[in-house]
Amino acid sequence: MRINFLNLGRQYLSIKNEIDSAISNVIEKSSFIKGEYVFAFEKEFAIANNANYCLSVANGTDALYIALKTLGVSYGDEVILPAHTWISTAEVIVQLGAKPVFIDVDDYFTIDTNKIQSRITGKTKCIIAVHLFGQMCDMSELSIICKRNNLSLVEDCAQAHFSKSNNIYAGLHGDIGAFSFYPGKNLGAFGDAGAILTNDNKIEESARMFANHGGLKKHEHKLFGINSRMDGIQAAVLSVKLKSILDWNQKRIDIAKIYNQNLSKIEEITLPLVRENTIHSFHQYVIKTKKRDSLKKFLFDNGIDTLIHYPKALPFIDIFKKYINTKSDFERSFENQNEMLSLPIYPELNEKEVEYIINKIKEFFFHAE
């Protein structure tokens, strides 16, 4: 048996007729850039999240860049973010001339709110909350910190489509939510795509203007912007998939429960936690074990693909050296990068495959020498 870490082909086959029809419609109408399919998806995604505004952009990295630019982050500012995240979260800060201030993570793989206040200075402009793997950050505490210190709050929701905290979807707890629709995400396009959610009309207008060459209308440029647009085919694909996302997320949650129930007695494994009053969308199901590398090899040899998210926390990557005072500030992130392992989890994973994965993990810990 061979179990891929992700199998997007199965997902496509389950909605093939709708997808093929949607793509065909875009091509027939030549609605490739902006146009009715893009505007329709923006409206649908906003409504589905109970948001006032959605701006579609080219990708998730652009969503973060535009969010920070719109909030006024610029040269000399400082932006607080978790140490363990994908590089996009930090590189957009550097590209704006600001300094990334890394904070270690907590037991939920999200930013440790207890360590933020001591790192806030007169230069601090913003905090980025990264809902890693689909787990919501402690948004109540982050909101308090931001209000107390007059800081902007951006949510990196690239891995948290329709995760919830206190019954509010990811992306709507702060000033702006930035989303990626990279193909492997819970809600994924057939190429690069991203979006911004906000409830603030001024933020939406500024972000839309900046993402469209600095103007809301063609040939009317009010500032120097960039070109970041979702194309019609990606929008049409996402509109089809949006109809199924809550069901797909529930299937991920159900698989996570099966993993939890069957792996909980293995003392050498730490299972992922779910923060109280949240819904975890399980973009990834991440375990920790000191035997990570040997387990990964054993599973691969038995036909099971796994991944490491991520092999190095950002403070341990050379290009960020100049922003780090001491690596000892990131003990949990260092531990995580050496022990974390992501198991296959996607809606199309069947019961036999999940059972096989569980049995092989048990075989490794209980029978392997």
pLDDT of residue 257: 98
Give the whole-angstrom CA distance, residue 57 versus residue 44: 15
Instruction: Return the closest-CA partner of residue 68 out of 211, 260, 263, 275.
Output: 211
Q: Mean pLDDT, to the nearest integer, of 56-85?
A: 98
Chain position carrying tokens 């891995």: 159
pLDDT of residue 369: 47
Q: Residue 285 pLDDT > 80, yes or no? A: yes
pLDDT of residue 202: 97
Higher pLDDT pick, 42 / 367: 42
Chain position carrying tokens 């730490």: 270
% of the chain exceeding 90 in pLDDT: 94
Higher pLDDT pick, 230 / 369: 230
Give the angle 254-259-261 at the CA atoms, nearest 5°: 95
DSSP 162: T
pLDDT of residue 216: 85
pLDDT of residue 238: 98
Q: Residue 359 pLDDT > 80, yes or no? A: yes
Q: Residue 368 pLDDT > 60, yes or no? A: no
Please give the domain boundaries of the chain with CATH numbers for all domains. 8-103+110-242 (3.40.640.10), 245-366 (3.90.1150.10)
pLDDT of residue 235: 98
**Mean pLDDT, the chain, whole residue set:** 96
Q: Mean pLDDT, to the nearest integer, of 220-239?
A: 95
Q: Half-sphere exposure (CA, 13 Å, Cβ side) for 297?
A: 4
Instruction: Return the closest-CA partner of residue 46 out of 192, 210, 169.
Output: 169
Q: Is the dihedral of CA 5, 156, 53, 95 positive or negative?
A: negative
Q: Residue 3 pLDDT > 60, yes or no? A: yes
Do residues 346 and 249 touch, judged by C-beta distance below 8 A? no
Instruction: Return the closest-CA partner of residue 212 out of 97, 42, 94.
Output: 42
Q: Mean pLDDT, to the nearest integer, of 168-178?
A: 98
Give the whole-angstrom CA distance, residue 141 versus residue 283: 23
With bands split at pLDDT 50, 70 and 90, how would you rate the model's confidence at 276?
A: very high
Secondary structure E strands in 207-361: 278-279, 285-288, 340-343
pLDDT of residue 199: 98
Residue type at position 158: A
Instruction: Give SS3 for 35.
Output: helix
Give the whole-angstrom CA distance, residue 325 versus residue 200: 36
DSSP run (H or E) holding 196: strand 194-198
